[in-house]
Amino acid sequence: MVEHRTIIVKHLGLIDYKEALAVQEAYYKTIVDQKHARATVDQLSQSAVSNYLLFCEHPPVYTLGRMGSINHLLVDAATLATQEIALYHVNRGGDITYHGPGQLVAYPIIDLEFFFTDIQRYLRLLETSVIEMLSHFNIPSTSLPGLTGVWLKADKNSKSFDRKICSIGIRISRWITMHGLALNVNNDLAPFDQIIPCGIPKAVTSMQQELNKSISIMDVSDILAQIILKKLNCV
């Protein structure tokens, strides 16, 4: 197995969801081609394995995962058209979620065969990376048994976590990851009122709402990238 692995971090800025999906698919194909090329040369001659960590924001869009229910969208197509919010059915896991400006989206395109072949471990890695990043901003958060994503306590005296700050939905094919996580940083939370986010009837929040101030998305992405790379031993 090739030990020299690299993860290339790229910032795509504000990009249409379909365009970002095309970028993901292009990098996915690159990694598939790498797999095929490695199969034809001896191990000592193999070059470094390239993986990608993409950060971006999207114009307003709802995305519905392959196992999701359209009934979790609470408005009709005419309303979406008036609001200029797109709707896409996508081939990731998870249910329905919202993306919009001010939300940080991370798309790792990674060949897990060079790290670990365990889907649950990968999901937990994404969750714990966000939790650690939020701790840098003094926002306590957690994962919840049986649920995917990152959550906050209802209040300081509550033992329950009922506000979601980060959604996660992935697709893994040939052990190569696609899609990823969406972290509410400074985005408008009102569009979440028109869906049952991830099919779970709980409130959502953002870093801005918790801290009562705007947060630099670049700072958040830089910290999150370093945490993910460290967990994957690629720093």
Q: Report the distance separating Cα 71 and Cα 63, nearest Å.
A: 13
Quote the distance between the C-alpha of residue 231 and its chain's center. Answer: 16
Q: Which of 56, 166, 198, 234 is catalytic?
A: 198
- Going from the C-alpha of 131 to that of each of 189, 223, 231, the distances in angstroms are 20, 11, 13
198 as an active site residue: the answer is yes
Q: Report the distance separating Cα 7 and Cα 145, nearest Å.
A: 29
161 neighbors 155 (Cβ within 8 angstroms): no
**Quick one: which of 56, 58, 150 has its CA closest to 99?**
58
164 neighbors 204 (Cβ within 8 angstroms): yes
What phi and psi, each to the nearest 5 degrees, are found at residue 157?
-100, 0
Residues taking part in catalysis: 198
